Structure 1
Amino acid sequence: MRAKDPTDEEAWAEFVKYYEKFIFHLLHRMSINADDFHDLVQEVLIKLWKSLKTYDRSQSGFRTWLARVVRNAVWDYFAREKRRSTAMAKEQEIANHLRETPATEVEAMIEKEWIIYLTGLAMERMCKVFSGEAVNVFALSLDGKSTEEIAKQLKLKTTSVYTLRNRVKARYIKEVHALMEQLEG
C-alpha cells in the first residue's frame, strides 16, 4: 500500500526488492527469450509502478492484480515480437527478391519510380503557379482526354483548352528540367 504513493521512493525500492525476482521467475516460466528477461522485467515493473495507484484491494487480491499486469505486459511483448518477426520476414523476402532480380530490372524500376516522383513534384509546383482550371485541363490531357472532351467536361471553349494546356505544358517541361538539374546535378 505504501508503494502506491509515487513519492515514497523507499517503499518502491522495497517493492522492487520483493517482486523483481518473482517477476523474473514468472517470465522464465512463460518461455520468454532469455535475452529479453531483464528488459521485460523492467517493463513489467514500470507498468506496475504506473498502474499501482489504481489498484483497489476491494476489486481483487493483489496477486490477481499483479498477475493481470504481468500477463498484459507479456501479451504486449509477444505481440511486439510477432510484429517484429513479421517485419523481419517481409524484409528478408524483399532482400531475397532484390538479390534474385537482375540489376537492370532494379535499375529500370528505380528509374520509373524516379520519373513518377519527379513529375509529381513538377505537378505540385504547377498547382502553385496556375489556376485550378488550367491545371485541371493539363491533368485531363495527361489522362488522354481529347480537347473536345475536356472542353465539354469543364464547360470551356476548345480554344481556351488549347491555350491553357499549352501554357501549363510549357511551364511543366521547364519545371521538370529544373528539378532534374536541381536533384540530379
Structure 2
Amino acid sequence: MQGPETRPTFIGNLANPACEQAWNEFVRLYRDIIYRVARSRGLQNADAEDVTQEVFAIVSRKVESFDCSAAGSFRGWLRKLARDTAIDRLRQPQHDVGSGDSQMRQALEQRLTPDDTATLWNVEVKREQLLRACDHIRDQFSESVWQSFWLTAIEHQSIPSAAKQLGKSEGSVRVARCRVMARLKREVDSDDRSLSL
C-alpha cells in the first residue's frame, strides 16, 4: 500500500496548492474518519458533512504553518480540529435541542469530552486502515478463502456456521482465516509505518 514517504514531505505537499495528488490522498485517508467522529458527536448527516468540509478548509489554511517538530503529531492536530469543529457546530443556536436544564447540559458536556474523541479518533483510524488493507490484499486470495475470513473475522459468524454456509470443513475455514489474518496484519503494519502522520 503506497502512502506518503515521510510526514514532512506529505504535509509539505498539502501546503502546496498545486499538489492535487497530496490533497486527494489526504481526503481519501481522512474524510470518512472526520465524518464518523462528527456523527458520533451527535451531528446529523448534513451537519457532519459540513464539519468534514470545514475541517478540510481549516487544514488548507493552516497546514502551511504546521511544524512537525514543534506541534506534535499531524493526526493529533487533525483530531483536535475535527473535535473542535464538531463541538462548535453543536454549540450553534439551531442545535440547542432539549430542555436546557442543567441535567441536559451536563449530559452534553459529558458526551463532548476530549478523551472520548481521542479514543473514537483512534478507533476510526484503525477502521480505515483495516478497510484499506482489506481492499489492497483482497485479490491475493481465492473467493472461498476470502469468504472464510470475511464471514468469521468481519461478520463474526462462528466457524461451524461459516463452514456450513461455504460447504467447507471447519479446519479449512480456520486455516483460510489464519492465512488472511496473517497477511492483513503485515499490510496494516506496513500502513502504520508508511502513514505515521
Q: TM-score range by the shorter chain?
A: 0.3 to 0.5
Rg (Cα) greater in structure = 1
Richer in helix (by share): 1
